[in-house]
Chain A
Amino acid sequence: MRKTSIVIGFAASALLAAFNTALAQDDVLVLDDDVQFDADADFGFDDDFFSAAFDEDSSASNSSWLDDFTIKISQQFSGQINNHSVDLAPGFSLPRKAELETNRLGANIRYQNAFAPGWLLQASAQVRIYLNDDYQYRAEGGSIDIESRGNEFFLQRSFDQHSLKLGRQTVVWGETSGNSVLDVINTTEFRDFNIIDIEDARLNQWMLVWDYFGEDSNFSSFVNLYPEFNPPAVRGSPFFFEPEFNLTDYDRDSSLLLEAGTQWRKSFRGSDISIMAAYLYENQLRFEDPVTLVGDAVAETNDFFLLGFSANRAIGKLLLNFDLAYSHDVLADSFSFPGTASLAKPVNLKKDQIGTSMGFEYAISNEQSVSLGIQAQKLLDEDEGLLPGQSLINDGVFGSWLVRYSNTLMNSDLVISSTLQGDLAANSLLALVGADYTLNDNWAISGQIINISSNDESPLLFFAEDVRLSATLTYSF
């Protein structure tokens, strides 16, 4: 484990040194920090250094169709570096060996073109190439696997007070970042433990979105024309466990599925509030055993109603966030671990649920901030309908909390952050320390170390004592 860390650390240092050498100017005396200047000294400044900006003054007229594209290419390595075993039951332990989990080259392409007054076309896609020792490389029997996915693809028409967007897109509700109880419209896919861009995790769906911008408040409404569901875990990924029956997608037959919702939003002095209502399907399919106990698992959908309220309040350096969700007719037991599915036999009851996520962000200084978010949910009348001896997977108040600290250094070139995330029952804890360093306008490098602790009450038990290290090099243009 130590050897791996040293090698990665050395590689990162060498890379940084190489970049710094490449970017340094010749014959410049670099001053120590906090050097004393003579107050009366009239030190000259080489203003010509920036004169090129004015030479390119007419660059606005030199636009090219390529300007509509933003491309990000990244290479990611990550692995579990702690050799250990997890005791799942007396006499049964699961060995967890140190191994590389991801070695993948990726490209994210984004296109945005306002091609005519009031019209806009936006699209984004990603390609991943799974290289040697990536879990998908291994799952493919040791061959390089290429995967592509379309993300956004929508056409927008804005006129007067209205905006209409048709196509694949996401809709985000709620104020609390990361774990809002109202951010339930988009399906998500978390394949790994690495913290990835949320826009990569949120999956787009075919929707029509209508925004109305009034003088004092705004309405935003959507119809999801083809509701989709969280995809099952990819074979070979850390979340994948061999199911007893094959997990398939929902068999739609001729049934018409639609989701719809609307949000009203208003800004006040120092505060924004929203009220929302929606008819939705739970993003996680519920899988049940096939009737004959032969063949594929049966995927079941569940529709429910959501009423929500969210608000924020800025008080100087403090920003308070609050989300409230009331869900009518959710399945009492729907497996909630993101990106995975369960074949456990859940209680087949519909319940109402109330949930809240709240927290704060506090700017310690311009560079440092700390935030806290707590998400808590509770099924109402949870014992009603249960047979003697039956119990729910989630009884009482359940949820999670998240604390994050970040420090921005060197004019935002270096961001150091640490995150702690756990469940309210204190059964598991995920600790993350990360650093993002922007080398120049195109290159960036990031690294993370993640440690997981869990007791046997949490599904994270399978990952207890895992230590994951990851590094990503990104080139954007």
Chain B
Amino acid sequence: METQKFRNKLITLFAALILLPLSAAAAELSPREIMEKFEDNQRATSNSALSRMQISTCKFGVREGKITCAERPRVKSLESVGKGYGPDLKDTKSVAILLEPAAERGIGMLSFSYDDGARDNESWLYLSALGRVKRIASGSSDDETEPGSLFGSEFTTEDQDTGKLDEYTINVLEETTESGRDVWKIEMIPNEERARKSRYSRTVNYIDKERFVALKVEMYDQYGKEIKRMLGSRVELMNDIWIARSTTIMNLVTNRLSNMAFLEMHTGIEVDDEFLTQRTLTDAAFRETELEKLRAQID
């Protein structure tokens, strides 16, 4: 018994010595704090923000050892306005209007997403063909539904979601490099309740230590198989926020990928609460006037 105790102490000491450098680095920030800072950074990109984005989706293949599109990508461009609400501005109201392709021009979506897991997100869609605003039931990542796709792309509401960190076990696996940058390799495992609502049983996030941007995220299904991989590139400082201006998500099951390019992002602008209502979907004269006011703040 004494021998066993001694061996345990020795193992503990040995383990402590091995993990000392990692613990020292993480001593400044806990895994939870790293992810909080990462999410704060992510949230800042949509708080009082006007963005113009392009989402390209294609079937992918391999050329010269690199993943690339095997077909001409389908491209959607959209303009989005968002604002934070609630405690610590963790709730978000946003409007996204499709600018291209021509066949979908003018389709608008109003979304209210709530940090509180007990509260369902709400979405309304305006289709000119329908002639009215329609409430959308699916696509909420906070209820029992499967996460919804973002405008038919490989990005889902879950991939864009922030908050709910309480529902994860967060571990720093190692400190390493990714794309030439020092990163924390952080594993997030959802608790039982979150796992029921998630497509992923585990994600591994490569968070830039200096800029708190995800350079790579691996997503695993319940069988431990990697089903999606997200890559962040063109990391730039936009309006004092570090952002991966080009984010690509690869679906390793269907071999389709989507790239989201942030063409413009302006934060710290004053967004009138009335703009984030159903009026923006139906009243095009109001919408264009308010968008001009927002653009004027940038100029």
Contacts and interface: CB of A to CB of B under 8 A. Distances in A.
A477 B102 contact: yes
A42 B37 CA distance: 26
B75 A441 contact: yes
Contacts of B66: 43-46
Contact of A411 (B72, B145, B152, B289): B152
Interface string A137-166: 000000000000000000011100001000
A161 to B, nearest CB: 8
B19 interface: no
A43 B70 CA distance: 16
Interface string A338-380: 0000000000000000000000011101100100000000000
Contacts of B282: 211
B162 interface: no
A86 to B, nearest CB: 34
Contact of A57 (B74, B148, B264, B289): B264
Interface in B203-222: 218
Given A163-B285, A369-B138, A27 B130 contact: no
A23 B72 CA distance: 5
User: Which label, helix, strand, loop or mixed, suits the secondary structure of the A interface?
Assistant: mixed
A34 B143 CA distance: 28
B215 to A, nearest CB: 12
B108 interface: no
A438 B152 CA distance: 12
B18 interface: no
B260 to A, nearest CB: 9
Q: Which of B103, B105, B130, B146 has the most CB of A within 10 A?
A: B103
B71 A23 contact: yes
A441 B70 contact: no
B67 interface: yes
Task: Give the interface size bracket for B toward A.
Answer: 35 or more
Interface residues of A, number: 83
A205 to B, nearest CB: 13
A25 B103 contact: no
Interface in B119-150: 119-120, 122, 128-132, 134-140, 143-149
Given A35-B252, A314-B137, A411 B131 contact: no
A47 B70 contact: no
A442 B252 contact: no
Contact of A318 (B132, B137, B277): B137
A272 B135 contact: yes
A53 B56 contact: yes
B263 A57 contact: yes
B135 A118 contact: no
A440 interface: yes
Interface string A270-314: 101000000000000000000000000000000000000000101
7 interchain residue pairs of minimum CB distance: A363-B138, A412-B152, A114-B288, A319-B137, A120-B285, A172-B131, A28-B61
Given A29-B61, A156-B284, A317-B138, 17 more contacts: A25-B69, A28-B61, A31-B60, A35-B255, A39-B226, A43-B65, A44-B66, A46-B67, A70-B103, A70-B105, A70-B106, A120-B285, A156-B285, A158-B283, A366-B147, A366-B148, A441-B102
Interface of A: 20, 23-25, 27-35, 37, 39, 43-47, 49-51, 53-54, 56-57, 59-60, 70-72, 112, 114, 117-120, 122, 156-158, 163, 170, 172, 177, 197-199, 202, 211, 213, 218, 267, 269-270, 272, 312, 314-319, 361-363, 365-366, 369, 408, 410-413, 438, 440-442, 444, 474, 476-477
Interface of B: 52, 54, 56-57, 59-75, 100-103, 105-106, 119-120, 122, 128-132, 134-140, 143-149, 152-154, 156, 218, 226, 229, 231, 233-234, 245-246, 248, 250, 252-256, 258-259, 261, 263-264, 274, 277-279, 282-286, 288-289, 292
